Amino acid sequence: MLATFVNIFKIPDLRKKILFTVAMLCIYRIGFAIPVPGFDQSKFAAEMGQNRDSSSPIGRVADYLQMFTGGRLDQTSLFGLGIMPYISASIILMLLGEVVPSLRKLRQEGQTGHKKIQEYTRYLTVLLCVFQAMMYLKLMGQYSYAGMHGMAIAMGVVGMTAGTIFLMWLGEQIDEYGIGNGISLIIMAGILARMPWAIARFWNNMEWTVGGAPGKYGPAHLIFLLASFVFVVAGAILITQAQRRIPIQQAKQMRGHRMYGGQRHYLPLRVNHGGVMPIIFASSLMMFPPVLIGQLLRVWPDSNALGMIQNAFQEHAYTYNIVYITLIFLFAYFWTTVQFQPKEMAKRLRDSGSFIPGLRPGPRTAEYLETVMTRITYFGAAFLSVIAVVPSVVNRSMGIEWQITQFLGGTGLLIVVSVSLDLVQRIEANLLMRNYEGFSQSGRIKGAYA
């Protein structure tokens, strides 16, 4: 393993890509130290810290947004919105591409259409940035300095929009001159940047004696967290790499006096085809009920019905987790339906002269592929559900803070695992291309299959 790391820096091209990527990520982290002028940062940071400690809906929403987007909401930083507007714009155009004929036609035009869709994505990102920055700064209006309310909001909207566009540009530069997916690496860097804070918070509340004071963590908590982290990460790697391999037979063809074709290969179908998107969609929807009910309770504080609904949608409530898991399943099948096109895949197999043994090319092949994908998506969604509720279960059963248990599962862990695997595979591909050994002595890292 050590020799592999040494070989990475022996290759000039690969070394430049890695150093360029690290430099871009350092610039990304430096940007959080640049606040938007016109706001009292100390007062707002104290308010956010109080909300986070009290596990209020606003605190949970802020923690989720910071973890996923890589942004920072405990101060009005230029990068406060993170990369989320760009991701939202990409998802919106991706979904519209399934229903709008003009966008679908652009997707089929290859590289030219892709560039045009990227241009539309940037325009939509600017609109989303302006909207989200205005909504966010409107909530922060009470923390602006006296006599600077309007000017502070205007500077904040311009600054935060420019910050997100700059992050989008950084991601594109990493894609072109660095290694790995730039946007994914930015998100992963934002998640990992919170890990030292969580470790320090756990260590400061650590007691090495058995039966310590309430709110303190003992050796049993430490051992459990370490073991759980290893097992959950191993499971996340397994489900991320897992594939269902469909055997494909290529038809034989006579060309002159020679027989060509007849090879047998496999069509890999990912068990977790939707990646982290089902959890992202479900988490986004589950953020709104607690905040909305909390606002309604301010208007009708004596409403028993609203109080019961609020208790049912607490993060540790049984009803909340049942609805959360149901949404994960629904979005897993929805995302697979949008991304996976069995009819188009069956058509490509038929046009290339390939077929699945025992099945007629065309509609029968498409029906079989859809059936297989439906079955394996169920297991992928079930695993995502387990990963999503692990932090809440550990927090509730062992009394460990949610800011610490979130590294045992959920969106953040899956993003870190999937991006890390992609980065390792890209580096390994560069090593093997230049006749160097990869990270695994048994060969290239591959996906598990059933």
**Type and span of the H or E element at 168:** helix 149-177
pLDDT score, position 126: 92
pLDDT score, position 152: 78
CATH homologous superfamily, domain 16-193: SecY subunit domain (1.10.3370.10)
Give backbone dihedrals phi and psi of 354, rounded to 5 degrees, phi first: -115, 160
Residues 396, 316: contact at Cβ < 8 Å?
Answer: yes
pLDDT score, position 54: 43
Q: Based on the number of CB atoms within 10 Å of its own CB, is 433 exposed (0-12), middle (13-18) or buried (19 or more)?
A: exposed
pLDDT score, position 297: 65
How far, rounded to the nearest angstrom, does the alpha carbon of residue 36 sit from its chain's CA centroid? 27
Mean pLDDT by 10 residues, the chain (450 residues): 72 88 89 75 64 51 57 65 82 80 82 85 90 78 68 83 90 89 84 80 76 68 83 83 86 68 80 80 72 66 71 75 88 85 86 84 90 91 86 79 72 80 84 67 51
For residue 48, what are its two tokens? Answer: 């956010």
Residues of the chain with CATH 1.10.3370.10: 16-193, 213-450
Domain 213-450 is in which class? mainly alpha
pLDDT score, position 376: 92
pTM assigned to the model: 0.77
- Would you tell me how many other CB atoms lie within 10 Å of the CB of residue 205? 16
